[in-house]
Amino acid sequence: MNPVLKNVLAVVAGVIIGSMVNMGIIMISGSIIPPPEGGDITTMEGLKSTMHLFEPKHFIFPFLAHALGTLVGAFVAAKIAAGKKMLMALLVGLFFLIGGTVNIAMLGGPMWFTALDIIVAYMPMGYLGYVLAKR
């Protein structure tokens, strides 16, 4: 297979699989840590209006979803890529960073979570995915 095509497919596969991990964690989060009383988290508008009710424990699963989704996606991309494996893993991290930044811009949230999410959950996890795939 053409190496460029294989690299593109590696990034696409990484994004898709990482997104599936992300959504899986988000889907189970409410059954492990229930949302705040009186909060509607089924829509973006409801989630935005409920954000002020969230306690730090409510941010654990969103962070895990972002970090583990990026980690798994970067790992997959680095495993599949024909070459430039670190670049492919970091491209997945960049994709999730852009998505996370847009999400934070739309929803808001506490500054500590925004900083933690942006600084730790994306590019470092993309690099860690590459390191794990390299072994």
Examine the pLDDT at 109 and tell me if it is beyond 80: yes
Query: Can you give the pLDDT at residue 38?
Result: 76
50-54, 74-78, 91-95, 115-119, range with the lowest pLDDT: 50-54
Quick one: what percent of the chain has pLDDT higher than 70? 100
- How far, in whole angstroms, is CA 118 from its chain's centroid? 10
Q: Which of 128, 130, 93, 82 is nearest to 15 (CA)?
A: 93
- Rounded Cα distance between 12 and 73, Å, is 9
